[in-house]
Amino acid sequence: MTSPSTAHVDVLIIGTGSGNSIPTREYDDLTIGIVERSTFGGTCLNRGCIPSKMLVMPANRVVEAEEATALGVHFDPPRIDWPSIRDRTFGRIDPIAEGGEQYRRGQPNTTVFTGDARFTGERAVRVTAPGGATTDVTADKVVLAAGASPIVPDIPGLAGTPFHTSDTIMRVDSVPRHLLVIGGGFIAAEMGHVFGSLGCDMTIVHRGARMLRHEDPDVSERFTREFGRRARLHLDTEVVGVEHSGGTFRLVLSPAPGHQGPDCPTDVTGDALLVTTGRHPNGAELEVEAAGVKLDEDGYVLTDDTLLTTASNVWALGDIRNPLQLKHLANREAKVVSHNVVHPDDPMHLDERVVPHAVFSHPEVASVGETETELQERRQPYRVGKRAFGDTAYGWALEDRSGFAKVLVSADTGLILGAHVLGPQAATLMQQMAQAMTFGLTAERVAKEQIWAHPGLAEVLENALLDALDD
């Protein structure tokens, strides 16, 4: 057996998503090691938010053409060129990933280690390359940025079948005729929108009573209703068995525990299966506890607000530490870590109080701050303001009949505690509420001290705030 080679670096970064942005000019005099077991650039670039949004765009165009009938405009049925859609997406992305790796390998102070990393001790890892060769790497400082991986549930018969996860579904050779989806979260919502719009029959099987269950209840309920117009939804239902034969999947179904499952058939069939039952952080897989890094009960790396872990000179960022698993938050975390690694005596602190997010499905969903459920659980007095898109001039123009904005305002301070939008341009609208919350503006000031463009879609926010103020 060949002995492992050895290496020592000043800073070792595990993961090349947001972790790849850690080295700045302040690192030019340091030796850097970067470990990556897959494609350079991480989940967001290669198999997450960027390719999925590039696929959402043509799906949106199909839906807009369908909805144009209400505006008096009629289109012929669209011709879907999936290879062109897919190749446009990855023809843009793959060269970026390749170029990022080549750039790092070309830096004189940087060594790229390809393979799986496992901690063997304090700031010490063994990297196993695809061919089996190993390298033992030690470092003065370590950054954990290894992300998360799809959860594959323990369903009888699932293992060994050619099912897809979010890692693989976007690169399929053709649009499935009938896609079965297990799960009802944001991946199911976005990929269901993509493939359903491009001509695929959709069946979604979800253990919960509503899709997007982590959203505000009003949003989750409305989204489930609207999405159910375009896909078969089997809610309060679980998959108890998977069969695959002759290119056909068969899911054996049962009512979820504690539910009657009135719409639960005994089985459903399709020619492709997408599993979207969540993503788990990769800390345990890296065996970080061997380095003194503690995990919480869900497997996320524990850090303080400087993103320092429980081990000396080990920091963590991104999906490995944060259950929100949002790229924009990981990017902010990377800036904090990048500074703190080289300036440990003058650390930056991460403020996670206001973190917006969006689901790019149809209808689009965006949210920031707390939900009504969360406010009720902590007994926070609050006021609710709501406004339908269709009650504004721009909403009339859109002929929108489902979208709405909802704001939650502290009854004590007048500060905005949460905002939730379902409908066109939800993600863009949400940033205005995130800005107001970040800078501590009251609902009164946001609604009344600025001039809102008329007739603009943002008026739905203005009117929701005024509703909360009973004005």
Tell me, what amino acid is at 439? F
Closest C-alpha to 277, from 188, 210, 214, 357 = 188
396-433 per-residue burial string, b: 16 or more CB within 10 A, e: under 16:
eebebebbbbbbbbbeeebbbbbbbbbbbbbbebbebb
Phi, psi values for residue 405, rounded to 5°: -115, 145
> CB of 42 within 8 A of CB of 146?
no
User: What number of CA atoms fall less than 13 Å from residue 22's CA on the CB side?
Assistant: 33
Tell me, what amino acid is at 440? G
Structure tokens at 312: 């000396």
> CB of 329 within 8 A of CB of 46?
no
Residues 214, 343, 349, 454: which is the catalytic one?
A: 454
Structure tokens at 448: 């009344």
Quick check: is 454 catalytic?
yes
SS3 270: strand
SS3 69: helix
Residues 6+ apart with CB under 8 A from 378: none
Question: What residues are labeled active site?
Answer: 454
